[in-house]
């Protein structure tokens, strides 16, 4: 992190909109999703950060198109929202962490997202490559950061939390500089809380500033109707026995005498509400999206404590609105929640409702975990046994083979064409 930048824990919002759903893993045809409407509604509701990746098929293009519109240009200056993307993962079995590919990937993301800088760049799914390859990629990202102004913060993402910890420690030991951010997915959920129990102490000790909790439904595992089946069929790595246990837990939840007892409703609230507290030590003080219309907020207004950062994923506007209703109810239950509810126009009774819902969710979550039994804290192997990286030799910049066919390039904004930093990046 350059010395002129504040730590990401001062800036990143505690709720981030993920775009992995803008992909045919989660949906049959991502081009039919209302992606522009989702992004515009998210911004209007106070969401100020978007996470994406070249690996998510057309997600970068779709997000970039949604942001490159008069509505966004006229109402949301680029400085008012954060863009997080990734490098390194190309397809399900292709990874390239070489310096040349990292440079190519960063430049392409800038172009797709119609921006002249990226707030965060992660090395994507680091468990699939060697520690040496991860160090190479992080070193190159830092060089780009230091020699241009197109990257602000650098981190890693992946599934096995012990691998994330090992790599965060290795990078600190080898470079003397800690990672700015680490993103873990499907490891702080109703089914699995190893991010808190195993990883947090080590990541804090390794100097990581912010740890993001993504995929609070375990890549769609914690749903009444089962894992999502997109255009590529059943991609989920969970074994059938775990799926059966989740179904049994869902059936048990449906029989309980409370409102909103569906498994995914309980799972979303439980994970976000608990991570706000569990992840606070590696959380953020950015805009909390508490619901004050068209207002740029700071956590300091509501007590100043950091909040654990969650990444949400949605496929339509109603899912977004429902998730935001849950998020704001969670904020209403915080120490200064009554003031938050009043300032946002939700009323004085919202804190009491939130605290009551919190008790309901805790009770039903305990029952769900009892049903899961030995499957609590189970993790599937990643990479799977026998995995071989099919990217045997780096080649740049051949057209990127993504899981989905990418659309034609979108028209670039003049700021990209005129950016000396972008031209310089292409020459490094």
- The rounded radius of gyration (Å) of the Cα atoms in the chain is 21
Torsion sign over Cα 394, 154, 204, 283: negative
Q: Are the C-beta atoms of residues 404 and 30 closer than 8 Å to each other?
A: yes
Q: Using CA atoms in the order 81, 212, 368, 338, what is the torsion angle rounded to 10 degrees?
A: -50
Which residues sit opposite 233 in a β-bridge?
Answer: 230
**Tell me, what DSSP letter sits at residue 406?**
P
Distance CA 348, CA 29 (A): 43
Q: Can 56 be counted among the known catalytic residues?
A: yes
Q: Are 92 and 56 in contact (CB under 8 A)?
A: no
Question: For residues 149 and 269, what is the distance between their CA atoms, to the nearest angstrom?
Answer: 37
Q: Of the candidates 28, 5, 8, which has an alpha carbon nearest to the alpha carbon of residue 315?
A: 28
Nearest residue to 1 via CA among 137, 174, 180: 180
- Annotated catalytic residue within 56, 81, 97, 185: 56
Catalytic residues: 56
């Amino acid at each position: 992190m350059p010395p002129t930048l504040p730590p990401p824990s001062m800036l990143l919002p505690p709720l981030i909109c993920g775009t992995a759903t803008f992909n045919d893993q989660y949906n049959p045809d991502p081009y039919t999703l209302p992606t522009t409407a989702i992004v515009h509604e998210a911004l209007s509701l106070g969401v100020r950060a978007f996470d994406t990746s070249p690996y998510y098929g057309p997600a970068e293009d779709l997000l970039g198109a949604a942001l490159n519109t008069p509505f966004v240009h006229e109402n949301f200056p680029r400085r008012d929202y954060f863009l997080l993307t990734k490098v390194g993962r190309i397809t399900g079995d292709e990874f390239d962490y070489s310096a040349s590919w990292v440079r190519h990937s960063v430049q392409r993301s800038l172009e797709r997202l119609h921006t002249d800088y990226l707030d965060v760049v992660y090395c994507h799914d680091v468990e699939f490559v060697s520690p040496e390859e991860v160090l190479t990629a992080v070193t190159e990202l830092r060089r780009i950061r230091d020699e241009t102004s197109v990257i602000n913060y650098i981190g890693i993402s992946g599934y096995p939390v012990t691998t994330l910890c090992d790599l965060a420690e290795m990078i600190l030991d080898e470079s003397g500089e800690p990672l700015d951010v680490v993103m873990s997915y499907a490891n702080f959920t109703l089914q699995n809380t190893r991010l808190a129990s195993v990883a947090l102490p080590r990541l804090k000790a390794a100097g990581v500033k912010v740890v993001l909790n993504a995929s609070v439904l375990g890549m769609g595992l914690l749903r009444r109707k089962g894992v999502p089946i997109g255009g590529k069929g059943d991609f989920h790595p969970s074994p059938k026995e775990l799926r059966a246990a989740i179904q049994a837990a869902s059936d048990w939840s449906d029989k309980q005498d409370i409102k909103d007892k569906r498994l995914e409703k309980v799972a979303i609230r439980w994970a976000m509400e608990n991570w706000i507290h569990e992840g606070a030590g590696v959380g953020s003080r950015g805009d909390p999206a508490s619901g004050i219309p068209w207002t740029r907020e700071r956590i300091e207004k509501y007590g100043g404590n950091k909040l654990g950062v969650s990444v949400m994923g949605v496929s339509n506007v109603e899912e977004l609105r429902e998730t935001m209703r849950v998020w704001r109810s969670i904020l209403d239950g915080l120490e200064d929640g009554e003031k938050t509810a009043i300032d946002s126009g939700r009323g004085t009774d919202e804190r009491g409702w939130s605290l009551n819902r919190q008790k309901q969710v805790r009770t039903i979550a305990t029952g769900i975990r009892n049903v899961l039994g030995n499957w609590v804290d189970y993790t599937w192997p990643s990479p799977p046994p026998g995995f071989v990286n099919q990217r045997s030799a780096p080649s740049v910049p051949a057209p990127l083979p993504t899981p989905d066919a990418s659309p034609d390039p979108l028209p670039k904004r003049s700021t990209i064409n005129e950016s000396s930093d972008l031209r310089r990046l292409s020459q490094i």
